[in-house]
Amino acid sequence: MVTIIGHNNGKLKQLTIRELCILQTDADFKDWTVWVDMTNPTEQEEETVLIQMFLFHHLAVEDCQRERVQPEEGDHFPKVEDYSDYLYVIFNPVDIPLGALIHANEDGEEPPLSINFRTRQLNAFLGENFIVTHHYEPSSAVDYTMQMCWKNQSILGRGPDYLFHIIIDQIVDHYTPVMEYFDDVLEEAENRIMASDSSDLLVQILRLKKSMQRFKRITTYQREILSRLARGEFELVSTEEMVYYRNVHDHLVRIVDVSESYRDIINGLVDAHLSVTSNRMNSIMKVLTMLSTIFLPMTLITGVYGMNFDNLPELKWKYGYFLVLGLLVSVATGMMIFFKKKGWLD
């Protein structure tokens, strides 16, 4: 689906692809500001808009179509490229799948610990008087900005660079619930470490670490993009709009810092799990050592009286069995009292 809106003389108008094509040949087109949003477009729509109408570079078009042509490759990482007449920007919105569980469900089953965040690819072509957004999945940031344009028709009139800042600001704002989800997952991981030393839990924590590294890599790339947009590297971003990009950049810097701290927390969880496992192993070995120490003299006594030599004392004494049995109990009790006084049984 292709949605096109244009702003001219303080008014907003919805256009069709045919009307935009005709408008591009008009000398007054430079007075318009046009936004073309392509949501899950067909191949024919991509051919018409991206190649025939705007003449975008074939490499940029290939990156746009990556999700459809090479779905096994996943989303393209964020980047910005300057093609002189326009900028090509890729951003990766991130969200958490609906129904993602952290705590035990009604049946008491604990779901595996994982940060199942999902990324999407949002492509944007930013020109002097136009912006083209392209995405195969619905985008709440684009929908929100489209509604804002109809409510306040002067937004699009401020230029495509201002409009694009609103879109990426919404994308960055949606990172907040994602970070809250991360925080809940890490808290649940800490609770489970104290309650279990399962090797499967360590595998889950290592997966958390891998997911967090992926999230940090995405946000770091996007931070660098915003840094370039905010410091005046590209002429298509006006000086007046740079302050808005710097504001979004500051928000993303804080998110990157928090994600870095989360990665440190996960490293601490790995160390804590290994420490808990080691302590429990030490406790088990302590109990086994105590039992072995107690049974060692008892084994010695029974071994001596198990040697059936003819001249062995007490061998034929009728109270000999009870004497040895009492001796075994006395030795075990004495050693238990000794260990208790030394504090070795605590």
Q: Which domains does the chain have, with CATH numbers?
A: 2-278 (3.30.460.20), 286-342 (1.20.58.340)
Confidence of residue 161 (pLDDT cuts 50, 70, 90): confident
Tokens representing 243 are 């302050």
Confidence of residue 109 (pLDDT cuts 50, 70, 90): low
131, 125 contact by CB (below 8 A): yes
Q: Residue 295, SS3? A: helix
53, 20 contact by CB (below 8 A): yes
Most confident of 29-38, 298-307, 332-341: 29-38
Residue with tokens 């660079």: 161
> pLDDT at residue 117 above 60?
yes
Q: What percent of the chain has pLDDT over 90?
A: 2
Euclidean distance between CA atoms 299 and 328, whole angstroms: 9
4 strand-pairing partners: 15, 36
Residue 213 is predicted with a pLDDT of 82
| Least confident piece of the model among 95-104, 144-153, 208-217, 303-312 | 95-104
Which 8-state DSSP code applies to residue 239? H
Tokens representing 34 are 């046009």
Cα dist from 176 to 100, 167, 243, 258, 269, whole Å: 16, 15, 22, 11, 23
**Edge to edge, what strands does the sheet with 11-15 contain?**
11-15, 2-8, 33-39, 130-135, 122-127, 86-91, 79-82
Euclidean distance between CA atoms 326 and 333, whole angstroms: 10
Residue 197 is predicted with a pLDDT of 61
Confidence of residue 125 (pLDDT cuts 50, 70, 90): very high
Euclidean distance between CA atoms 82 and 90, whole angstroms: 12
Residue 122, phi then psi, degrees to nearest 5: -110, 115
